[in-house]
């Protein structure tokens, strides 16, 4: 029996190592601007940029202008350029919101964004982007984890178009990419695995020749 015990221990350790060493998750788009965003051309009041439950019943679905991937160098992007109305409309300012529910926090998350021309962006009421340079700007926020929380998250921004300088064309897009952890096995899974390994160890021991060593 004392010779079998190390084998069972070894197999158990191997199985547990495999169970807890989940396959590396690949980065995926977790959130992006598209028609599911709520927008309004009328300046909102109150906690529109900090409260996930803010009443947006008077807001409208975002107008999709184009796919960011249509632009050379951006082929891998999935976000869509949005505004409160068309690409050349006279609406030179609009407000956008998206509630984003997280059942678990990502392993990592980054955000890329583009504004034509300026924007202020908040995540859960914390300002992440303050863009007032007057021209179209691209952003890359490498680590978004400090801003995220379990449950409902709110991504909100106010964008403006400096039409007098750059013409009427305007746009905004946001894309959040990251890695979600694979599901961790439940304790019951470990118990079943240990029971199975114990049975294997027991069988191995029973089959071991009992002759002289
Ligand atoms: Ca800008
Ligand atoms: Ca512009």
Q: What angle do CA 91, 93, 99 make, to 5 degrees?
A: 115
- What pLDDT, on the 0 to 100 scale, is given for residue 182? 74
119 Cα: distance to centroid of ligand 1 (angstroms): 7
Q: Phi and psi at residue 134, in whole multiples of 5°?
A: 90, -15
Distance between Cα 136 and ligand 2 center (Å): 7
Q: What is the dihedral of CA 119, 125, 126, 127, to 10 degrees?
A: 10
- Which residues lie at CB < 5 A from ion ligand 1? 117-118, 131, 133, 137
Cα 207 to averaged position of ligand 1 atoms, centre (Å): 75
The pLDDT assigned to 164 comes to 82
pLDDT tens digits in sequence order for the chain, 213 residues long: 455 555 655 555 555 554 555 556 778 999 999 999 999 999 999 999 999 999 999 999 999 999 999 999 999 999 999 999 999 888 999 999 999 999 999 999 999 999 999 999 999 999 999 999 999 999 999 999 999 999 999 999 999 999 888 788 999 999 999 998 876 666 666 666 666 666 655 555 555 555 455
Q: What per-residue confidence (pLDDT) applies to 1?
A: 45
Ligand nearest to the CA of 165: 2
Phi, psi (rounded to 5 degrees) for 10: -65, -50
The ligand minimizing its distance to the Cα of 157 is 1
For residue 175, how far is its CA from the centre of ligand 1 (angstroms)? 17
Compute, in angstroms, the gap from residue 47 CA to the centroid of ligand 2.
27
């Amino acid at each position: 029996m004392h010779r079998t015990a190390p084998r069972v221990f070894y197999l158990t350790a191997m199985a547990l190592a495999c169970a807890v060493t989940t396959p590396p998750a690949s980065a995926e788009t977790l959130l992006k601007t598209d028609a599911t965003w709520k927008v309004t051309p009328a300046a909102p009041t109150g906690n529109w940029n900090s409260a996930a439950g803010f009443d947006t019943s008077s807001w409208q679905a975002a107008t999709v202008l184009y796919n960011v991937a249509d632009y050379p160098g951006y082929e891998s992007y999935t976000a869509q350029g949005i505004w409160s109305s068309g690409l050349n409309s006279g609406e030179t300012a609009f407000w956008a919101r998206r509630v984003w529910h997280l059942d678990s926090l990502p392993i990592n998350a980054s955000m890329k964004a583009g504004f034509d021309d300026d924007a202020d962006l908040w995540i859960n009421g914390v300002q992440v982007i303050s863009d007032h340079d007057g021209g179209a700007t691209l952003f890359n926020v490498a680590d978004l984890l400090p801003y995220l929380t379990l449950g409902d998250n709110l991504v909100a921004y106010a964008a403006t178009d400096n039409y007098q300088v750059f013409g009427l064309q305007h746009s905004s897009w946001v894309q959040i990419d990251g890695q979600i952890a694979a599901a961790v096995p439940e304790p019951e899974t470990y118990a079943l695995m240990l029971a199975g390994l114990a049975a294997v160890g027991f069988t191995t021991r029973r089959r071991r020749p009992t002759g002289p060593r």
